[in-house]
Amino acid sequence: MTHDLKVLIVEDDPHVLLGCQQALALEDIPCIGVGSAEEALAQVGDDFAGIVISDIRLPGIDGLELLTRLKARDRSLPVVLITGHGDIAMAVGAMQKGAYDFMEKPFAPERLVDVARRALEQRGLAREVFALRRQLAERDSLEGRIIGRSPAMQQLRELIANVADTAANVLIEGETGTGKELVARCLHDFSRRHSKAFVALNCGGLPENLFESEIFGHEANAFTGAGKRRIGKIEHAHEGTLFLDEVESMPLALQIKLLRVLQERTLERLGSNQSVAVDCRVIAATKADLDAASKAGEFRSDFYYRLNVVTLELPPLRERREDILQLFEHFLQQSSLRFDRVAPELDNHTLSSLMSHDWPGNVRELRNVAERFALGLPAFKKTGSSGTPQGLAFAEAVEAFERTLLGDALQRSSGNLSQASQELGMAKTTLFDKVKKYGLSH
């Protein structure tokens, strides 16, 4: 039984209510009791995780009306009705309207426990299905793929949404591990080209003598070992997207050949004189400063300007620390599912280490840390006598943690400052000042 599921008992007879609570408590089933339907409705919010067991005959709103109102809020909520003598026909009718089960007074404690357990099990399964459906929906959204509440990530999502469904070439700049290929895939998936091929080519992972054949393709017998025709990466990306990763490592001689293809929208396979028309969107990624490289003669300036129609800059993780906990929780849940483990609780030492670490490997490093933690291993390897990873100063770590807490509270309250300040135990004026200080949206 999921730990957050509980039983809400609605009974105006205090002796019966106490007996029900004791019977469930003896079986380690969490429960709370109220004396009226009005109190029950106040307890059952949108995030209520549990079931309701209610007497039919109550002062004010009766159990049948309570059933109707609860099912209107949440059709999957199991509601069990307690009936008195002569109310059986009424209870059967209520089950036709959605009641999970009914118990006739007097009932044995074992009967109460059995019904509660079955209803809680059904509730748990229903909530798991709902959570999986929500995860699938979120996975298909930009917010579910480009994770982070920092202003930089909000702006990045807006830019992706704005340029994804255009033909403009895009240059993605960012350090190793910041998620450049993920952004490229989002640009493809949220465009009208999404049903066509997304072709990724690591420009630094191919020997120069094979690069031309790989990207342009070749005819049979074009060179020694070319036994049959091969379609190159560009042609394969026709009507789709060509992703050039580590484009800074592309040899200068090949840059001019690729530039000609991008300008003329045609190519010739090696060993062929026939032009092949191609229409592909080009997205390039680099960890280098191509502007400086082009000025230094290390990268062709005309090729750089062809790629640099739209530039997306991915900030390193150390510059958006308010996103660390959200990313860590996301990777931890993914890893726990993959390893078939229960996600461990985040302890204070790990929390402090996450917020103070400098993250030279960026998001990729954070994912690896989450995987180790999911396996029950120390999230960080010890580095020196203190065992604490080197990185951020204490004051900066505290600010980053505070920014994260405030951002989470604002998200839960849908930007309502009054509600967020009450949850945080902070004066509304203080919260407003901190929201302004950290540039948080509300």
Q: What gap in Å lies between CA 29 and CA 390, rounded to an integer?
A: 45
Classify residue 28: in a domain, yes or no: yes
Q: Are 294 and 307 in contact (CB under 8 A)?
A: no
Distance of CA 349 to the CA centre of its chain: 24
Same domain, 250 and 338: no
Classify residue 360: in a domain, yes or no: yes
Report the CATH number at residue 309: 3.40.50.300
Of 315, 330, 358, which one is at a domain's C-terminal end?
315
Same domain, 352 and 226: no
Same domain, 260 and 339: no
Same domain, 166 and 308: yes
Cis peptide before 106 (omega within 30 of 0): yes
Of 138, 165, 200, which one is at a domain's C-terminal end?
138
Classify residue 206: in a domain, yes or no: yes
Same domain, 285 and 343: no
Same domain, 349 and 230: no
Same domain, 167 and 132: no
Range of the domain at 40: 6-138
Classify residue 98: in a domain, yes or no: yes
Largest CA distance in the chain: 94
Q: Residue 81: its pLDDT value, please?
A: 92
Q: Residue 2: its pLDDT value, please?
A: 45
Classify residue 273: in a domain, yes or no: yes
Q: Are 363 and 179 in contact (CB under 8 A)?
A: yes
Q: What amino acid is encoded at 137 in this protein?
A: A
Same domain, 343 and 431: yes
Strands 6-10 and 79-83: unpaired
Q: Residue 3: its pLDDT value, please?
A: 47
Classify residue 213: in a domain, yes or no: yes
Q: Determine whether 438 is exposed, middle or buried from the number of CB atoms within 10 Å of its CB (0-12, 13-18, 19+).
A: middle
Classify residue 1: in a domain, yes or no: no
Provide the 10 A C-beta neighbour count for residue 210.
9
Structure tokens at 44: 């059952």
Same domain, 323 and 291: no
Same domain, 69 and 106: yes
pLDDT of the chain, 442 residues: tens digit per residue = 444 689 999 999 999 999 999 999 999 899 999 999 999 999 998 778 899 999 998 999 999 999 999 998 888 899 999 987 666 777 777 787 888 988 888 899 999 999 999 999 988 888 877 776 666 555 567 888 899 888 899 999 999 999 999 999 999 999 999 999 999 999 999 999 999 999 999 988 777 778 888 899 999 888 887 888 889 999 999 999 999 999 999 989 889 999 999 899 999 998 898 999 999 999 999 999 999 999 999 999 999 999 999 999 999 999 998 899 889 999 998 898 888 888 888 887 888 889 889 899 999 999 999 999 999 988 886 554 344 444 445 556 567 777 777 777 787 777 888 888 887 777 778 788 788 887 776 6
The strand pairing partners of 31, in sequence order, are 7
Q: Determine whether 85 is exposed, middle or buried from the number of CB atoms within 10 Å of its CB (0-12, 13-18, 19+).
A: exposed
Report the CATH number at residue 38: 3.40.50.2300
Task: Please state the pTM of the whole predicted model.
Answer: 0.61
Of 73, 106, 138, which one is at a domain's C-terminal end?
138
Same domain, 59 and 160: no
Classify residue 185: in a domain, yes or no: yes
Same domain, 433 and 350: yes
- DSSP run (H or E) holding 266: strand 266-267
Please tell me the total count of domains within the chain: 3
Contacts of residue 271, defined as CB under 8 A and 6 or more positions apart, other chains included, come to: 218, 219, 220, 221, 222, 223, 226
Provide the 10 A C-beta neighbour count for residue 163.
17
